[in-house]
Structure 1
Amino acid sequence: MQKSITSFFKRKSDVPDESPEPKKAPKIKTETEDTKKLLIKTEDESPKAKIKAKPEPMTVDPPESPDAPKSVKVEKDTENKPAAANDAKNESDTENKEADRKVTTIGLVSTSKDGKEDAENYDPSKDSYHPLKNAYWASKKVTPYLALARTFQVIEETKGRLKMIDTLSNYFCSVMLVSPSDLVPSVYLSINQLAPAYEGLELGVAETTLMKAICKATGRNLAHIKSQTQLIGDLGIVAEQSRVSQRMMFQPAPLNIRDVFRKLREIAKISGQSKMDLVYNVFVSCRSSEARFFIRSLIGKLRIGIAEQSLLTALAIALVKKNHIGDCKASKVPEAYKDEIAETTLLLKTAYSQCPNYDIIIPAILEYDIKELQERCPMHPGMPLRPMLAQPTKGVHEVFERFGGMHITCEWKYDGERAQIHCNEKGEISIFSRNSENNTAKYPDLIARSKNFLKCPVESYIIDSEIVAWDVERKQILPFQVLSTRKRKNVDIEEIKVQVCVYIFDLLYINGTALVTKPLSERRKLLNEHFQEVEGEWQFATALNTNDIDEVQQFLEESVKGNCEGLMVKTLDQEATYEIAKRSRNWLKLKKDYISNVGDSLDLVVIGGYKGKGKRTGTYGGFLLACYDTENEEYQTICKIGTGFTDEDLQTHSEFLGKHVISSAKSYYRYDSSLEPDHWFEPVQVWEIKCADLSLSPIHRAAIGIVDGERGISLRFPRFIRIRDDKNSENATDANQVAHMYQSQDLVKNNQKTLTQTDLEDEFY
């Protein structure tokens, strides 16, 4: 078994000096030149040394280093033990005891002579943190990867959202002051990205490949690594436990941020054995918690709970701290700077919405005043904007209550895929989804006919549109389910079976000029001046300008007959700008479904599963769903659901979600203990859900504190509609939307007594 740090210090005399070259230490043969240089001291082979206490059957004891992960204990439930884990444990016991005897604990980094903190004790969360004095790497001007790993570790162990953000801001501030060129890779690594989302650069390293690299570097058996991963549920922790038990007589050079980021980008771009070799070469240089977070980065699950909005807030706070470093005696910013932080955060988030590229934004905030950021980071074709979104509404009367006295327009709401189509000065076409995913390769047919809808020469443009499946013979729109069958990658024009038509509804940029601050009436005028319709290929959204309630109602009925979801109602002149990345009340959606009740479906995140009973045995029979609270960046439970599924649906959901099971609820899941599912999931999938109505609930946490101080909101009779592949978990229905939908109900408006979740508990077995 692994030896603890305490054991290491007790046997300190056994550790050879660095000066004399050891002659008796045996070399471990490896497959690369790097590891031929690494010598490992074999432990005492006396009988006493070979006697090891047998561990508890289902307990994993981590090393006792200052930043080693907390011990993970799994209940001794023999019925639930993975069979593979038991078999693997028995098969690899002997081999791993031998491997354990050949490794000792890695030495700690010593405290520097100038009194600054050593790497192992680096803690950016402490109240007395100073961005310069506590940056132990200040003299080297290169940020160690261990400093970032320690920051991640502290954040992972922190409960409060504000404290997590403050901790990250302290680290960012130190990097800004000491090694500013490391800020870009630090930011990308903090959200587990290697480039802007629209570039589509992903690591794509299989767990098996990572396990093999860990085995190769640590001398452990593959079956043992697999069994430990099944027990703990986190290959990153397994990697750290395996790595931290080794001491190399010639320690590789410490990893730094720039090199790790560069290596990760290289890993993402290559395949085959070369990818495995690169992973191995970095892993053997990992110390302490570096191993945990390096492996997690490769898997694509950092598990620290920092989303992009939190990261932008942390950057803004770090920037204010940097600007007032002389006034800050500790990590906390004086109260006088709170307004400056709020303003900086808003400016940074606004700039990022129109220019979602940290390679452009971060150099700008380091060199220029924050008030110049939007000017320095303008929108331009080829870089997707975060789309403007609409608020749901439940009836025509509510539309006129909101837009009373304003000039409005109604557009058909198409049941397709949101598409932002860009053309740059070189004539290159790019197509992006609502999540900024690059879908250009998915639609080669649109690119081939992109010049057909130009009315006059156009140098560059960005249009907002909806792509729908199109029946060429009947000349009509087909359901979204038909569009979803279209091939996503390596699409050949000759093999396309599902034809599409683009319905354009907005123009955001034309010939080098951004239009988002112009009113919709002006944007629409420019759209008609520069573009033309081509039947079945490019068409303008069917629209009606009216302030007559009867005409709106009739237009809604026409949209339903035209195979659309309903209407989008927008202001034309007043409050009619394009609000990037916002769900604005200047756009309202009026859908055909549940108009007399809820008024809209909800897009909810699956966070838990309940084992099925009876005919559903072997799959999940029900699921725990949550909305997303954008302000607190947490998932709040809103209902349990077990209806609307076919047997095939349940099998598909069980297979997919079974790959995303986690050992316990995330720190940012808000739920009542009575709702504890059999399995918790990573927040990786969004479902569209319909319901009869919404009610206050004593156990669900959706929108808690918005409508009621102690109760959340739940759904009555929820029903599964479909998987929303076009949305990620942070684009799910948010808490404010849920509160608005609840308050828009006639029952609530008329002050009638609403039923609680206790009365309406959904029986789904």
Structure 2
Amino acid sequence: MNLTKSLFVNRLVKISYCLLYKQITSNRTICYNNKIYQETSHNMAQRSITSFFKKTPFTPMEIKSNGGSKVSHVNGDTSPISDEKDKPSERQQSNSIDNDGDSQDSLKPKNKAKRQRVISSSSESESPVKVKKEDLSDNDDSITLNKSVNKTYDSPKNKKAKIKKEIKSPSPKKGAKSLSRDEVKENSLKLKIVGSKEKDNIVKNTEHIDNIENESEEIQKVAENAYNPSKSKYHPIKDACWSKGEPVPYLALAKTLDLIEGTSARLKIIEILSNFYRSVMVLTSEDLLPCIYLCLNQLAPAYHSLELGIAETYLMKAIGQCTGRTLAQVKSAVQKCGDMGRVAEQARAAQKTMFAAPKLQIRKVFAALKEIAHMTGQASVNKKINKIQSLYVACRDCEARFLIRSLEGKLRIGLAEQSVLHALALAVATTPPGPNLQLDAAQHMSADKFKALVEQHVAVVRRTYCECPDWAELLHELLRGGVAALASRCSMRVGVPLRPMLAHPTRAVRDVLARFENEEFTCEYKYDGERAQIHVPAAPDDKPDFANAAIFSRNQENNTAKYPDVLSRLPTLLKEGVSSCVLDCEAVAFDAANGKLLPFQVLSSRKRACASAEDVRVPVCVFVFDLLYLNGAPLVGSTLAHRRKLLREHFCTQPGTWQFATSKDCSTIEEVQLFLEEAVKESCEGLMVKMLTGDNSKYDIARRSHNWLKLKKDYLEGVGDTVDAVIIGAYRGKGKRAGVYGGFLVACYDPESEQFQSLCKLGTGFSDEDLQILSDMLKEHIIDSPRNYYNYDSSHSADVWTSAAVVVEVRCADLSLSPAHRAAIARLHPHKGVSLRFPRFVRVREDKAAEQATTAAQVAQLYLAQDQIKNQVKQPDAAHEDDFY
């Protein structure tokens, strides 16, 4: 009897299942996050059954049926329950109702989509979701849909990905009517949500629907190894290989430098670099400063004196340890290739690693290089090598080449400082910084108008950098206010050295009068010393702060420690009322006992750093000849007559210690000639002839100007000026010169191609002492093979090659075109360079770096200035133009 009753109840329950399932099989549309979802009858059935058992819970009471299966009493009724071993999975349980009632095929939707969460993503919320009665069939009561236990948790990240995927590629059913955004929002009101968390989630997702759509339309960035800033019509965002706010990858800079290295046209080089700077400014402006410094192969302004100080042997050792090669193998490869960067790149490409190192970023590489430069102490060498190895193993593609070149201090890709300034100005003109971002301003201008705008920007950026050669401040003001406000916000200040104004050489007095005809000019003694720029800042009480005074060289290097005696006597120079100043001077070795000037060779023996004035062995006299800054006001835009007047009013003199440069205002050839003879008698090199009044008498920072002419005593010997050349090779001495180098291969410097071009073989004018000194100096600069940036003829191959480090002053009879030398090649003749005839050694120029040697353009001008050439060749206009150096 009990068994019959149990079977009856079981059958009744199954019938109830089917009736309830059919009652709610009509499909419904539910709106979620402004998105329409079609709910199938299959899913509706599951929810209805779940609600049914919530209203009518089980009261389990197990009995044994005849068949041996367990039977559970539910409110007095019984239904069979399978054993635990036969229990189906959760997914199977949800589909078990398909065994009775209508057939399974009729219950399933025809196009069954992947099961998705339809109701609000509230896996943490326990509150149920109620659906209005009118949303179901007419006979339904309100049904509460609880979270099913067998649903899996979706993280917020997965939810966002699903929604984003649906927005990107919606797949409505065939024949379904597409709804507008307003209809979607209207349908969303049908879903009544109970519970604060559910409401917050829906509102939040609705607010961010536009952001998600924008992300779907986000521009795909270019692959890093495919980055190409030389592309025509370059787009700073679409063609970049990083997104906005991301650190600039080091590979992007390496690719840019690689393209520049393979480009010879200067304008194209500027365009490539400008495109890269545009992307950096738009996407990650904070990385622009390290990008500039890495392009210039610098770590800080020159007056900070921050250098890496890594010998080539240590770099080779680091490369060998990382790639499993011996030091001898790396040295041999460098000797064959001539470029350590190329060797490092090839070795890194052949190396296979199990795990890829993190990608290099420009800001991290720059910070690592600065960290290496600051490492000091006994264990600093090993620390530097370890740091180099950590960078090297992370290199990809051509990164290793430029990383090692940066560490070596020789980028050598033909990228000069003036090109960087030009590229920066072009980038700002094309993509002006500011709140109203304009990616390409050239599109809205004619070619001529845009060219004029670029030239204007270049002039402003160059002039501002000359007055304030601090890249950090210049870029900060440039990105904040643009070029228009750059000059007013970024100007000359005490403590930041300027590049001095230089003079052009002239061969005769008549050339001076031809240049300064109908103009007022003055002549000053040209002292044989070292340029010194003295900065005295102001204290808070408007008094001069002598404790923080500094002395800088013509290379902007800080020479304060070299002249403690000058600083100790500085208070005697300034008169009352002077709070701050910048003076342009010449420090000359001085024999106080005899009151005579000593040659530069004596001054060069002075120690680079003296602890105190008592330790000084070579006394100096400072000759002040110009005033650039006074009491907070720059004077570089004033005339020389005004500057000289202020100088004499506010400063004192003391014989043998502080003196004004001896000067005389001349107007005739005879006066200039007599004053030149006086200068030579006073152990000076000659005269400096300067424009005194007018617009041409301003102080042209960082220019070799025709408004200053130098008239040296050597003009009678054929050449108006000596040449500063760099030793790149040496020849072993024979006979009397055995044991030392008897001759040297010297070169001039071409900043445009960053090459050292052979000028002549130098073997005369040396004393035995000079040869011994030079041989000792060159020992630490010997290299295995000539650098790839040495331009020379194989017929002049040296016995020993040296790095470009030692600068010597050379005098000659005249200059001639030569097929065997490469100085100024292609400037005057397509296949011939300029050579010095009868060169003679004068002295070693320890005050000059290799890059400050006589340039190829200057060599070409010296050649054209010769009388025999003037009569034959028409002078190009460029020969008389002033330019930055």
The normalised TM-score by structure 1 is 0.76
1:693·1:716 contact (CA, 8 Å) conserved in 2? yes
- Structure-2 residue corresponding to 1:295: 404
Alpha-carbon distance in structure 1 between the residues aligned to 2:393 and 2:427:
33
Superposition pairs of residues 153-552 of structure 1, within 5 angstroms: 153-271=258-376, 272=380, 273-323=382-432, 325-326=439-440, 336-426=449-539, 427=545, 428-552=548-672
Superposition pairs of residues 100-119 of structure 1, within 5 angstroms: 116-119=221-224
Q: Secondary structure, in 3 states, of the residue corresponding to 2:678?
A: helix
2:764 aligned with 1:643, yes or no? yes
Moved more, 449-458 or 121-130: 121-130
Deviation readout 1:173-231 (Å, 9 max, x if unpaired): 22112111101001101111111011101111233443444444444444444444444
Alpha-carbon distance in structure 1 between the residues aligned to 2:340 and 2:860:
39
Moved more, 596-605 or 186-195: 596-605
Alpha-carbon distance in structure 1 between the residues aligned to 2:446 and 2:228:
18
Alpha-carbon distance in structure 2 between the residues aligned to 1:160 and 1:316:
18
Deviation readout 1:665-709 (Å, 9 max, x if unpaired): 646x66667666667665444321101123344555545676678
- Aligned-pair RMSD on alpha carbons? 3.2
Alpha-carbon distance in structure 1 between the residues aligned to 2:326 and 2:500:
49
2:807 aligned with 1:686, yes or no? yes
2:717·2:813 contact (CA, 8 Å) conserved in 1? no
- Structure-1 residue corresponding to 2:116: none
2:431·2:439 contact (CA, 8 Å) conserved in 1? yes
1:192·1:300 contact (CA, 8 Å) conserved in 2? yes
* Structure possessing the higher relative contact order (Cα contacts under 8 Å, 6 or more residues apart): 1
Match of 2:241 among 126, 136, 143: 136
1:662·1:682 contact (CA, 8 Å) conserved in 2? no
> Percent same amino acid among aligned pairs?
51
Give the aligned residue type for 1:445. D
Q: Secondary structure, in 3 states, of the residue corresponding to 1:360?
A: helix
Q: Secondary structure, in 3 states, of the residue corresponding to 1:349?
A: helix
What displacement does 1:377 show? 1.4
1:420·1:462 contact (CA, 8 Å) conserved in 2? yes
Alpha-carbon distance in structure 2 between the residues aligned to 1:163 and 1:609:
37
2:713 aligned with 1:592, yes or no? yes
Give the aligned residue type for 2:418. Q
Deviation readout 1:153-188 (Å, 9 max, x if unpaired): 332333443333332222222211211110100110
Q: Secondary structure, in 3 states, of the residue corresponding to 1:303?
A: coil
1:395·1:599 contact (CA, 8 Å) conserved in 2? yes
What displacement does 1:570 show? 1.2
Alpha-carbon distance in structure 2 between the residues aligned to 1:371 and 1:504:
35
Deviation readout 1:607-654 (Å, 9 max, x if unpaired): 455666676678665444444456676555443333223456456556
Alpha-carbon distance in structure 2 between the residues aligned to 1:750 and 1:249:
71
Distance 1:114 1:616, change over 3 A: farther
Deviation readout 1:553-592 (Å, 9 max, x if unpaired): 2221111111111111112113211111111111111111
Distance 1:280 1:627, change over 3 A: closer
Distance 1:114 1:745, change over 3 A: closer
- Structure-2 residue corresponding to 1:604: 725
Match of 1:558 among 678, 685, 690: 678
Q: Secondary structure, in 3 states, of the residue corresponding to 2:485?
A: helix
Distance 1:564 1:730, change over 3 A: same
Q: Secondary structure, in 3 states, of the residue corresponding to 2:236?
A: coil
Q: Secondary structure, in 3 states, of the residue corresponding to 2:462?
A: helix
Alpha-carbon distance in structure 2 between the residues aligned to 1:218 and 1:697:
45
2:230 aligned with 1:125, yes or no? yes
Moved more, 728-737 or 136-145: 728-737
Superposition pairs of residues 667-682 of structure 1, within 5 angstroms: 682=803
- Structure-2 residue corresponding to 1:150: 255
* Structure 2 runs not aligned, ≥5 long: 1-217, 433-437, 540-544, 874-885
Alpha-carbon distance in structure 1 between the residues aligned to 2:364 and 2:279:
19
What displacement does 1:749 show? 5.2
2:430·2:440 contact (CA, 8 Å) conserved in 1? no
Give the aligned residue type for 1:494. E
Give the aligned residue type for 2:460. L
Alpha-carbon distance in structure 2 between the residues aligned to 1:611 and 1:470:
37
Give the aligned residue type for 2:346. Q
What displacement does 1:335 show? 6.1
Alpha-carbon distance in structure 1 between the residues aligned to 2:234 and 2:786:
31
Q: Secondary structure, in 3 states, of the residue corresponding to 1:451?
A: helix
Distance 1:747 1:238, change over 3 A: closer
Alpha-carbon distance in structure 1 between the residues aligned to 2:862 and 2:347:
51
Distance 1:122 1:645, change over 3 A: farther
Distance 1:458 1:717, change over 3 A: same
Moved more, 152-161 or 582-591: 152-161
1:161·1:632 contact (CA, 8 Å) conserved in 2? no
Deviation readout 1:10-49 (Å, 9 max, x if unpaired): xxxxxxxxxxxxxxxxxxxxxxxxxxxxxxxxxxxxxxxx
What displacement does 1:232 show? 3.5
Alpha-carbon distance in structure 1 between the residues aligned to 2:624 and 2:670:
26
2:414·2:752 contact (CA, 8 Å) conserved in 1? no
Distance 1:544 1:140, change over 3 A: closer
Distance 1:219 1:743, change over 3 A: closer
Give the aligned residue type for 1:593. D
2:221·2:243 contact (CA, 8 Å) conserved in 1? no
Q: Secondary structure, in 3 states, of the residue corresponding to 1:186?
A: helix
2:256·2:276 contact (CA, 8 Å) conserved in 1? yes
Superposition pairs of residues 72-91 of structure 1, within 5 angstroms: none
- Structure-2 residue corresponding to 1:719: 840
Alpha-carbon distance in structure 2 between the residues aligned to 1:632 and 1:225:
27
Highest CA radius of gyration, 1 or 2? 2
Alpha-carbon distance in structure 1 between the residues aligned to 2:342 and 2:751:
29
Alpha-carbon distance in structure 2 between the residues aligned to 1:126 and 1:431:
46
Alpha-carbon distance in structure 1 between the residues aligned to 2:325 and 2:332:
12
